[in-house]
Amino acid sequence: MKKVGILTSGGDCQGLNAAIRGVVKSLYKKFGNDVEIYGIHDGYRGLIEGSFQPMRPDDFSGILTLGGTILGTSRQPYKTIRAVDANSGDKVKKMKETYGKIGLDCLVILGGNGTHKTANLLSQEGLHIVTLPKTIDNDVWNTDMTFGFSSAAEIATHVIDCIHTTATSHGRIFIVEVMGHKVGWLTLQAGLAGGADVILIPEIPYRMDAIVAALQRRSESGKRFSILAVAEGAVSSDEARMSKKEFKSEREKMKYPSISYRLADEIGKRTGHEIRVTVPGHFQRGGSPCTYDRVLATRFGTAASELIFQEKYGYMVALKNGYIIPVPLSDVAGRLKSVPGNCEIVRSAKDIGISFGCE
- Going along the chain from its start, the domains and CATH numbers come out as 2-148+289-331 (3.40.50.450), 152-285 (3.40.50.460)
As a whole number of Å, the CA-based R_g of the chain is: 22
Q: For the chain, which residues score pLDDT lower than 70?
A: none
Contact assessment for residue 193 and residue 157, using Cβ atoms and an 8 Å cutoff: yes
The region, left, alpha or beta by phi > 0 then psi within -120 to 50, assigned to residue 184 is alpha
pLDDT at 87: 73
pLDDT at 144: 98
pLDDT at 254: 92
φ/ψ of 75, rounded to 5, equals -105, 130
- The CA–CA distances, whole Å, from 235 to 37, 102, 214 equal 45, 46, 18
Contact assessment for residue 204 and residue 229, using Cβ atoms and an 8 Å cutoff: no
Helix or strand run (H / E) with residue 27: helix 16-31
Contact assessment for residue 226 and residue 197, using Cβ atoms and an 8 Å cutoff: yes
Helix or strand run (H / E) with residue 215: helix 208-220
pLDDT at 82: 85
pLDDT at 320: 97
Q: Tell which residue, 7, 9, 33, 23, has the closest CA to residue 102.
A: 7
Task: Determine the 3-state secondary structure of 23 from DSSP.
Answer: helix
- The CA–CA distances, whole Å, from 224 to 102, 220, 350 equal 63, 10, 21
Contact assessment for residue 108 and residue 308, using Cβ atoms and an 8 Å cutoff: yes
Catalytic residue among 12, 137, 197, 293: 137
pLDDT at 171: 86
Q: Tell which residue, 12, 41, 69, has the closest CA to residue 284.
A: 12
pLDDT at 268: 95
Cβ neighbours for 298, distance < 8 A, ≥ 6 positions apart = 18, 19, 21, 22, 64
Q: What pTM value is reported for the model? A: 0.95
Task: Determine the 3-state secondary structure of 206 from DSSP.
Answer: strand
Angle among Cα 104, 106, 107 to the nearest 5 degrees reads 95
pLDDT at 25: 97
Cβ neighbours for 267, distance < 8 A, ≥ 6 positions apart = 173, 208, 211, 212, 215, 273, 275
Cβ neighbours for 37, distance < 8 A, ≥ 6 positions apart = 4, 5, 6, 24, 27, 54, 55
pLDDT at 36: 98
137 is catalytic: yes
